[in-house]
Amino acid sequence: MSRGYPQATVRRDSRQPFIGLLLALMAGSAQAEVHNIDATFEPDFSNPRKNQFKNQTPSEGFCRQLPATCEALGLFSLIAHIPFVANVPIAANHTDPRRGGMAKVPSDWKDVIVTHASGDQQRVELRIAGIGHEAGFPLSVRQLTGNGWWDDLWEGGAWSYAPSPCLGVGTYSAGEHSYNSFWRVPEGAGACAKKALFDIPPGMNYQYFVYAYELRTPDPLKMEAGSYTGSIDYTVGPNMDFDMGDALLPSDSMLTLNFNLKVTHTMKVDIPPGGNRVVLEPVGGWQSWLNQGRKPTRLMRDQTFNISASSRFKMTMQCQYASANNCALWNSSAGHSVPLEVSVTLPNGLTDGAGQAVNRRRLLRDGTGTELFQPEFYLDRKVGTLHFEVPRDAVDGMLQEGIARSYSGNVTVVWDSEVG
C-alpha cells in the first residue's frame, strides 16, 4: 500500500520524548567563519558565592529553540555558515563510514589562553558538545526510498536517532527534500556515522551546521578587572577538527572562535564615622594609673572597617613618622618618638596568597607579608579590624610621673587592588 506524506512535517521519534525544534534555513557563506564569544563577571551581593562568568553570546540554532534543555546541560550553540556538498554519490549499504553521513567533532576539552592588557594570562577550557545539520537532498525522500520516509533511508532509523557514541535529543524537523536534527556529543566521543540503505546521488548537502559548546571559565576573583582576550582555530573538513567524512566537503576549512572575558570588580572600604581618629589607651582606660599609680604596660586601640571585595588586593602603610619598618608616634616637646605597630584582621572569606586566614597580620612600611589578599567569594560589607599598639617595651618611656606628654602621628593604610 502506498503511503501519503505531507510536504512538511515535524515528527516524534517513538523512542524519545518530543521537544519542538525548528531551525531556520540559512544560506551558506563562502567567507571564513569567525565567531565571537563574550562572557562577563560582575559581583552579585545577592549570591556572593557564585564566582562564575555569564556567557553573553546569544545562542543560535538548537539552544535558541530549546533553551531549557541546553541550560540543564550547560550548553550554548552557534550556527557555522559553512555549507557542505557531496560531489560523489553515497552508495547504499556502504562499508566505509566515511563515505556516508557522519560527524566527528573536537569533543575533548581544549585550553584557550586569554590575556589581560597587564599581561596576566588565564585559561578557558572549551569543548564541542553537540552537532546539528540542516541536510538537503537532490531527490525527495520518497524518490530516494521508493515511496518510503526518512526512517527508511538510514540504518537505525532517521537522522534524529543518533548513532553511538552520539546521543539524540528526540527532536527534528523534516520536509520532502530536507531534514534537520541535532546530536549531543559526549566527552571524548569519536566519529558518529549513519549508513545509507538507499543510493543517494551527488548533491546531498548541509546548508550549515550547528555546534554546541561547553565552557569552563577561570575564577574571576583571581583575575584583574578589565578584558581578557584570546582565540582558538578549528579546522573544517575531512580528517580535521570538524570532520563530516569524505563524501561531503566544506566550502571553508577554518572556524575561529574569539573570546572576550570582561571582569568588573568591587573594592570598597568604609571606616565608621570618627574612625579616622584613633586614640590609644590602656586596656580598661587610664583609671588604674590615675587612681592607683599603676603604669599601663600596653597602649592600644582596635578600629573596625567594612570591606566589600571581589578582587585581589594588597595592603600598604604610609607613615608621617617612621621607626625602622614601623610607623612611629612623636612627642615634639620632648623630642621623643616611639614605634607604633599596626596589624590587620580580615573577615572570613579573605585569605593570603597561601590560602591562610589573616589574623593580626602586621603591616610594615615595605609591604612585606601583605602583598596579596584574595577573596574566596564576593564579600559585601564584611567587618575587618585594624589593630594599633605601642610595643610593651616602649610604653614605659612615654609615661613620666607628673609630666603630661602627647604623642601623635599620621598613618595612612592603603587597600590597593593593583596587584602584580
Same domain, 13 and 135: yes
Q: For residue 364, give its domain range.
A: 267-416
329 and 215 co-located in one domain: no
Report the C-alpha gap between 77 and 182 in whole angstroms: 11
Residue 290 has a pLDDT of 54
Same domain assignment for residues 167 and 93: yes
- pLDDT attached to residue 45: 79
Q: In total, how many domains does the chain have?
A: 2
Of the candidates 263, 294, 325, which is a domain's last residue?
Answer: 263
Q: Looking at the structure, do residues 253 and 325 belong to the same domain, yes or no? A: no
**68 and 35 share one domain:** yes
Specify the pairing of strand 361-363 against strand 33-41. Answer: unpaired
Please indicate, yes or no, whether residues 172 and 240 belong to a single structural domain of this protein. yes
Would you list the DSSP string of 51-63? Answer: ---EE-SPP-THH
Same domain, 14 and 155: yes
- Cβ 277 vs Cβ 372: under 8 Å: no
Q: Can you give the pLDDT at residue 29? A: 38
Write down the residue that cell numbers 582606660 correspond to.
285
Length in residues, the chain? 420
User: How many Cβ atoms sit within 10 Å of the Cβ of residue 212?
Assistant: 26
β 84-86/314-319 pair status: unpaired
Amino acid of residue 144: L
Residues 92 and 143 in one domain: yes
What one-character DSSP code corresponds to residue 356? -
182 plus 290 within the same structural domain: no
Establish if 23 belongs to a structural domain. yes
Beta bridge pairs of residue 184: 130, 167
Q: Give the domain CATH number at 272.
A: 2.60.40
Cell 554546541 sits on residue = 212
Last residue of a domain, one of 220, 244, 263: 263
Residue 3: per-residue pLDDT: 35
Is residue 208 located within the same domain as residue 336? no
- What contacts 69, CB < 8 A, 6 or more positions away? 19, 63, 169
Domain boundary among 203, 234, 263: 263
| 197 and 147 both lie in a single domain | yes
Spatial distance between the Cα atoms of 209 and 226, rounded to a whole number of angstroms: 33
Write the DSSP assignment of 246-260 as a string of letters.
Answer: TTEEES-SEEEEEEE
Residue 279 in domain: yes
Residue 16: what pLDDT?
Answer: 33
Cα distance between residue 55 and residue 38, in whole Å: 6
Structural domain includes residue 113: yes
Residue 206: CB atoms within 10 A of its CB come to 24
Whether residue 1 is contained in a domain is answered as: no
Transcribe 3-34 into DSSP letters: ----SEE----TTS------PPP-----SPEE
Report yes or no on 103 lying in a domain: yes
Q: Give dist(CA 58, CA 399) in Å, integer.
A: 71
Q: What is the pLDDT along the chain (420 residues), one digit of tens a residue?
A: 333 333 333 333 333 322 222 223 233 334 579 999 999 999 887 788 888 899 999 999 999 988 988 888 889 999 999 999 999 999 999 999 999 999 999 999 999 999 999 999 999 999 999 999 999 999 999 999 999 999 999 999 999 999 999 999 888 899 999 999 999 999 999 999 999 999 999 999 999 999 999 999 999 998 999 999 999 999 999 999 999 999 999 999 999 999 999 999 999 999 999 999 999 988 766 766 655 556 777 899 999 999 999 999 999 999 999 999 999 999 988 889 999 999 999 999 999 999 999 999 999 999 999 999 999 999 999 999 999 999 888 887 787 666 778 899 999 999 998 886
In a domain, 193, yes or no: yes
How far apart are alpha carbons 213 and 201 in whole angstroms? 33
Instruction: State in Å, rounded, how far the first CA of the chain is from the last one.
Output: 78
Q: What is the pLDDT of residue 25?
A: 29
Question: Are 221 and 278 contained in the same domain?
Answer: no
Per DSSP bridges, beta strands 76-80 and 84-86 are unpaired
